[in-house]
Structure 1
């Protein structure tokens, strides 16, 4: 028997007009048909989005009340049936190999989706069904190794001084919370994650938030973080971050995107098109604020192509969004994001803009509504006074989103280059907490 070629797998469970889709990264989400669209077409459309996001062929495995089927899906949307089912007329070569029970490719696992248990097939590494002789298996024995755990919390201040003298002092509550936040933001995921910083009003801190979150994730998690200026209209992320070796923007990257996705492209070649931040360790993909919006608009297809490049070279992408919520690139950004962060200043106008955006997302579709429910809101105190107004606005969002944070006034955030080391210690901790809240949903 020849060995079949296996591709990364996504899964969908279809029950009547509803379906649950599990991404390549293991995230489970509901699939909603558009209008009178058949649920099967909606599932294939979602799987095509996943293939386009990762830039690779994927296998879609569907199960439920319409039987089990395997489809090979490429980023362009072409589908090839891999197994025969009640809704599949053609069978691709290699069907018998994929269905061979000796391979032991899949089993069932329970995943909780919004409180309901869904049975989803999942790969089982180290499958032992090929061994027909029970005596050949090693007997169970105790391990000689002790699992490594990092339970130490670095002490600071007078506790750090005493610790340096060899005196053991219990970490303070602040130090314990800081250590817990660092453990969350330093996580490494299998596959690229995306986070969008959004608010339809300008001047509310989207660029600042993008830079600070990118700095936290890159410094604590070891780099491979991209801050992407996804803006048609005068995106200023490049103005407040450092320029790299090459004076390039997103418009320079787009023509060579397909080459960067080719197998022969080296991992360092992305450096020609992004701007590395030496101290904060993340990269910036700039827009060109000197051009009119009509000269730098990109459509959904171009956005998807750039997203494939980003997913190949980075583990985390943070979008600094524009203010035009009708732009194709803005809408495609929402559809490609795992998490939303909504910054607002401590004033009524910017807070109302954030609230209206959340309302619009709740009515757009089921996935956008889920993003709104899981959103993180940041209220920034832009002036030395106004802490009471910041708390009032934060209280107004509490209960309507997953988490709300306030950022204290810090002159390093008002103007000039955005560098994490320039912030006050209290502001460090505030951004660390925001990043931890956002990472919990990734």
Structure 2
């Protein structure tokens, strides 16, 4: 069960932008012929609105803050008035930049036309010759089950809508990005599924994306990720990695040097950076500077980092984790206390600063059914988060998740599919 808002995202860096469509596909935009990058973002949002036939909420972010704009299929656009401020509205002309005040942030479009005339669309470029080599955007469709049996007999059966959705989720979960991406699994209450969520998301991303995924136990107080995952060749923790960061960041360091400090999961193809559950919190606290150094190492050796967080939301390492995160995942059980803790955390982050507000608004809530059947509680929790976060994914009850090693292959088929859905929803925000 999930809910998805009709929203596109644009992250601006100078004269370029990273645009994420409604269905989670990302592409790069660049300003053309010295024009403002904002023009390219608006033009792309108009195309997305026309493709879907509905108004798109465009969320832009950059070095000057974040803004939200409604873009309609007819080309008209207007800022979203959330009551925080009264935004000025400016009529569009061929040069958008000349209509904006000098103090208008260059990284976002926060002043847009409100006329009834359509927003002008850039003329299409001259058509290029079609290549004889077809484009390949992902793995080819592979039949399974009875469809695979029929295929061996020469009978091709089109995949069902369910199979098509499954294949699309796998495509999202297997995506690679330019640069390291980070996911913070957060809830201020203990025992709500942070560790199992970290392990299962890491397993899906590692299996289908080809590895290079790190599950980081970012916990001052007896983090248990190491207890529920495989032990590697060396009995090492984050305390052993800290003094080695300079060597690992040196030009002479090899890609396999990180192996001494992490624990590889053989079947699920991700690595675990353990905390030491035998030490008191006072013996393994990290300063912001130490976290930064560890993050540099993680970004050098891994394409994706999934943080298993502790419960102390005031700790330096917890706040540093949030500040370095690309995406928040908030786990909760089907219990009022854990759901309330998740909601309070999202509200606190929403009031912290603009970036934390965007992270909270773009979060994915993962609701794990701790008992075989509690439909009323499940319904109330899902309804309580709808409209407050970007997506909600329900994980069905599975006794394997309650205790013991966390391995993807041990899960029931519906549970595996639910975690693939959760990973795809998370990847859509990266």
Counterpart in 2 of 1:257? 245
The separation in 2 between residues aligned to 1:115 and 1:419, in whole angstroms, is 50
Taking the TM superposition and a 5 Å limit, the aligned residue runs for 1:294-333 are 294-333=282-321
* Cα 1:268–1:175 shift into 2, 3 Å: same
What 5-or-longer segments of structure 1 have no aligned partner?
1-8, 14-19, 21-26, 34-63, 68-109, 118-139
The separation in 1 between residues aligned to 2:65 and 2:137, in whole angstroms, is 42
The separation in 2 between residues aligned to 1:320 and 1:113, in whole angstroms, is 35
Cα displacement (A) at 1:393: 0.7
Decide which of 273, 295, 312 is 2:261's aligned counterpart. 273
Does the 8 Å contact 2:62/2:108 carry over to 1?
Answer: no
The separation in 2 between residues aligned to 1:171 and 1:401, in whole angstroms, is 31
Q: Confirm or deny that 1:237 pairs with 2:211.
A: no
* Cα 1:66–1:394 shift into 2, 3 Å: closer
Q: Confirm or deny that 1:11 pairs with 2:17.
A: no
* Cα 1:435–1:149 shift into 2, 3 Å: closer
Dislocated runs of 4+, deviation >6 Å: 110-117
Does the 8 Å contact 1:361/1:369 carry over to 2?
Answer: yes
* Cα 1:152–1:341 shift into 2, 3 Å: same
Cα displacement (A) at 1:172: 1.4
Counterpart in 1 of 2:387? 399
Does the 8 Å contact 2:14/2:107 carry over to 1?
Answer: no
The separation in 2 between residues aligned to 1:316 and 1:184, in whole angstroms, is 14
Cα displacement (A) at 1:114: 7.7
**Stretch deviating more after TM superposition (149-158 or 177-186):** 149-158
Does the 8 Å contact 1:154/1:175 carry over to 2?
Answer: no
Cα displacement (A) at 1:28: 4.0
Cα displacement (A) at 1:32: 5.7
Cα displacement (A) at 1:29: 2.9
Taking the TM superposition and a 5 Å limit, the aligned residue runs for 1:116-195 are 143-148=131-136, 150=138, 152-195=140-183
* Cα 1:257–1:414 shift into 2, 3 Å: same
Does the 8 Å contact 1:200/1:354 carry over to 2?
Answer: yes
* Cα 1:356–1:114 shift into 2, 3 Å: farther
Deviations 1:176-227 (A, max 9, x none): 1110001111111110000000000000000000000000001111000000
The separation in 1 between residues aligned to 2:107 and 2:167, in whole angstroms, is 29
Q: Confirm or deny that 1:283 pairs with 2:271.
A: yes
The separation in 1 between residues aligned to 2:109 and 2:364, in whole angstroms, is 21
Secondary structure of 1:239's match?
Answer: helix
The separation in 1 between residues aligned to 2:279 and 2:316, in whole angstroms, is 18
Figure out how many residues of one structure are paired with residues of the other and give that number. Answer: 329
TM-score where L is the length of structure 1: 0.70
When Rg is computed on C-alpha atoms for both structures, the one with the higher figure is 1
Q: Confirm or deny that 1:29 pairs with 2:62.
A: yes
Secondary structure of 2:226's match?
Answer: coil
Counterpart in 2 of 1:212? 200
Does the 8 Å contact 2:187/2:331 carry over to 1?
Answer: yes
Counterpart in 1 of 2:323? 335
Deviations 1:143-185 (A, max 9, x none): 4423235574333333333223221112112111110001111
Secondary structure of 1:284's match?
Answer: strand
Does the 8 Å contact 2:188/2:345 carry over to 1?
Answer: yes
